[in-house]
Amino acid sequence: MPTSLVEGDSLLAVDVGAATTRAVLFDVVEGGYRFVASGQAPSTAEAPFKDVSEGARNAIENLQAIIGRALLNGSRDLITPSQSNGSGVDAFVATLSAGPTMKAVIVGLLTDVSLESARRLTETIYARIVDTMSLNDHRKSEQQIDSLLRVRPDIVVITGGTDGGASRSIQKMLEPVGLASFLMPADRRPAVLFAGNQKMESEIKSLVGSLAPLLHFSPNVRPSLETEDLDPAARELARLFVNVRKKQIKGVDMLDIWSHGHILPTGYAVGRMMRFLSKVYSSTKGILSVDIGASASVISAGFRGKSTLGVYPQFGLGENLPGLLNYTTLEDILRWSPLDIPSDALRDYLYQKSLYPSAIPATKEDQALAQAVSRQALYLAMQTARRDFPRTASTLKSGLLPLFEPILAGGGALSDSNRPGDGLLLLLDALQPIGVTTVILDQNNLLPLLGTAAARNNLLPVQVLDSGAFLSVGTVVAPVVSTTYGAPILRAKLEYDNGTEARVDVKFGSLETLPLPSGTAGKLTFQPMRGVDVGFGPGHGGTLPVSGGALGVVFDGRGRPLNLPADGVRRRELIKKWRWTLGGE
């Protein structure tokens, strides 16, 4: 057993969500870091507790009962470092997504340059942009002040000016921010992040420094017109988010103390992990992570070392659910349901779920509604995230998703599913991946915790990822094709390691599977029909090595983009058939 690198350092990670708080223990097992166990409890950010530390302690106590090891003392304080009797842990980290969506105002010089950078930066935390200010803003100063007083932002993100460039224009734009802050009650003034021209730091301090309860500076997101670098500013904004939450929600300060400052927004922690993985995977394809929970849908993608991150509270499954109808219709949500459910029942569900986000579906109708809402929310989040994917990302056809390998998926909507097939079908419907990819389910929602743990122990995430803590759902083959229903589109042969073979003929509109258990591998040979593309070019076949998973190899022959039948009866029968193919009821 190694004695220098990994001996002894246990780590406890807590994720405070809007509906559930989870405590996860990582420790050394047989010479390497492993995910040991997790405990969970309802989150306590809302009434009657309004103290996230209570939910964290409850989750840790549930974890204690599972592992038979004391992590809290008699006063319910964390035992650290670990003791000779086996109690306690050596390190603690936390992620946070609980709390109301923050209202943000972004300020920048040019709409399509610094303001776009400000938008992408703000979308790395749980915030909703409620107003924008730029040189193209034709409102008078008093109108801008009135708007700021009306929306009462929690944070103001200021960008603009290349390093050593424009300063007078930024000063002019900041005057309404300073005056509006002056007119607000002291406890309602917004926190400010400045990520613009670095030579303006003293001017920013004089304009808003005495009025902002929190003023953070970061390197310029646009050091030049051609260059965008969001990472340093995103790190600073993540810290600003936590500091604002410490003022808004009781108990966050305690978690910050326990973690010695290693507490991050959950979505940002996912993006941090994806930045690392995008450098590890040296494929020509991208790597994709999706997380759909009560607070937000989080989409993070990596492309040859470059990454994108979008945190979308408007597409979360908690208190923001009624607002989903600002982006879609009841009919578009119900198209995913295998049951004939009236739109009024869906509307009632949205409001009830927003009040009780941790409620578990009690009937088949509730389950169908939950799955339909999750699909539409994730679909909308994916369409929103695509605008920030690089134009150079490899794809098979313009307008479709880039090629990804692998796709990692987590969040309450997926981890609460009893069957891997239900989760996979949700992902296939909402994301509509193309070509050949591996789908990995983060059933224990470890990815954000590994992202924040990396700052305390950079060896731990690597070893946990290699330990089998994630569930491989299987290999997905999704041909790009559009033809008539029932037309043959693909023939495939799977050769197993023991020399046996399995074959399948895929028809348009169908889902098919070939068994390939987890831990095994095989060779998959394709022969697409004319015009059908699985990654070798239209009509061209080939052979690829594939790895096993819970569902083996899944062929999605429904076409891209996915078009559901307009006839409700036929559409619902097809959905039931697809669910049955993947092991559903």
Looking at 96, 115, 150, the residue that finishes a domain is 96
pLDDT at 240 over 90: yes
**Eight-class DSSP state of 528:** E
Give the chain's end-to-end CA distance (angstroms, integer): 46
Answer yes or no: is 252 within a domain: no
310 three-class SS: strand
Answer yes or no: is 517 within a domain: yes
pLDDT at 330 over 90: yes
Answer yes or no: is 83 within a domain: yes
**Cis omega before residue 81 (within 30°)?**
yes
Per-residue confidence at 584, pLDDT binned at 50, 70, 90? low
108 and 84 within one domain: no
496 and 434 within one domain: yes
Percent of the chain past pLDDT 70, that is, above it, reads: 97
Per-residue confidence at 4, pLDDT binned at 50, 70, 90? very low
* Pair of tokens at residue 484: 């008539």
Candidates 161, 31, 152, 30; CA nearest to 100 is 152
Neighbour count for residue 195 (Cβ, 10 Å): 28
56 three-class SS: helix
Are 414 and 227 within 8 A, CB to CB?
A: no
Are 253 and 370 within 8 A, CB to CB?
A: no
Q: Are strands 306-312 and 297-303 parallel, antiparallel or unpaired?
A: antiparallel
User: Residue 202 has what pLDDT?
Assistant: 81
Per-residue model confidence as pLDDT tens digits over 44-89 = 998 888 999 999 999 999 999 999 999 999 999 999 998 988 899 9
494-500 long-range contacts (CB < 8 A, ≥24 apart) are 494/522, 494/523, 494/524, 494/525, 494/546, 494/553, 495/522, 495/523, 495/524, 495/525, 496/520, 496/522, 497/521, 497/522
pLDDT average, residue stretch 173-196? 91
CB contact set of 115 (below 8 Å; sequence gap of 6+): 106, 108, 109, 132, 134, 159, 160
Q: Are strands 542-547 and 521-528 parallel, antiparallel or unpaired?
A: antiparallel
pLDDT at 309 over 50: yes
Are 3 and 15 within 8 A, CB to CB?
A: no
Neighbour count for residue 521 (Cβ, 10 Å): 11
Candidates 316, 302, 313; CA nearest to 271 is 302
Answer yes or no: is 260 within a domain: no
CATH number of domain containing 226? 3.40.50.2300
Neighbour count for residue 48 (Cβ, 10 Å): 7
CA–CA dist 236, 218 (Å, integer): 6
182 and 82 within one domain: no
pLDDT average, residue stretch 220-243? 91
pLDDT average, residue stretch 102-117? 90
User: Residue 492 has what pLDDT?
Assistant: 96
Per-residue model confidence as pLDDT tens digits over 207-225 = 888 888 999 999 999 888 7
Are 142 and 312 within 8 A, CB to CB?
A: no
Answer yes or no: is 262 within a domain: no
pLDDT at 125 over 90: yes
CATH number of domain containing 34? 3.30.420.40
* Total tally of structural domains belonging to the chain: 3
pLDDT average, residue stretch 425-433? 96
Answer yes or no: is 1 within a domain: no
User: Residue 5 has what pLDDT?
Assistant: 40
Answer yes or no: is 140 within a domain: yes
521 and 384 within one domain: yes
pLDDT average, residue stretch 448-474? 89
Answer yes or no: is 255 within a domain: no
**What backbone torsions phi and psi does residue 256 show, to the nearest 5 degrees?**
-65, -40
User: Residue 6 has what pLDDT?
Assistant: 43
521 and 392 within one domain: yes
CA–CA dist 429, 577 (Å, integer): 14
91 and 107 within one domain: no
User: Residue 170 has what pLDDT?
Assistant: 78
211 and 68 within one domain: no
**Eight-class DSSP state of 445:** -
Gyration radius of the chain over CA positions: 25
Percent of the chain past pLDDT 90, that is, above it, reads: 73
Candidates 382, 320, 381, 387; CA nearest to 351 is 320
525 and 398 within one domain: yes
178 and 61 within one domain: no
**Residue 415 identity (one-letter amino acid):** S
407 and 448 within one domain: yes
Per-residue confidence at 350, pLDDT binned at 50, 70, 90? very high
Tell me the C-alpha to C-alpha distance, in Å, between residue 313 and each of 97, 99, 162, 322, 508.
Answer: 10, 11, 31, 12, 36
Per-residue model confidence as pLDDT tens digits over 252-295 = 999 999 999 999 999 999 999 998 888 777 678 999 999 999 99
User: Residue 424 has what pLDDT?
Assistant: 94
Per-residue confidence at 416, pLDDT binned at 50, 70, 90? low
pLDDT mean across residues, the chain: 91
User: Residue 502 has what pLDDT?
Assistant: 96
User: Residue 86 has what pLDDT?
Assistant: 87
Q: Which domain holds residue 505?
A: 267-581
> Strand (E) positions, 417-510?
435-441, 471-478, 488-496, 501-507
Per-residue confidence at 578, pLDDT binned at 50, 70, 90? very high
Higher pLDDT, 198 or 438: 438
Count the residues in the chain: 585
Per-residue model confidence as pLDDT tens digits over 544-555 = 999 899 999 999
Are 90 and 79 within 8 A, CB to CB?
A: no
Looking at 62, 96, 130, the residue that finishes a domain is 96
507 and 368 within one domain: yes
User: Residue 165 has what pLDDT?
Assistant: 65
205 and 148 within one domain: yes
Looking at 37, 66, 96, the residue that finishes a domain is 96
Q: Apex CA 362: angle with CA 356 and CA 365, to 5°?
A: 100
Dihedral angle over CA of 460, 463, 469, 473, nearest 10: 130
**Residues forming beta bridges with residue 128, ordered by sequence position:** 103
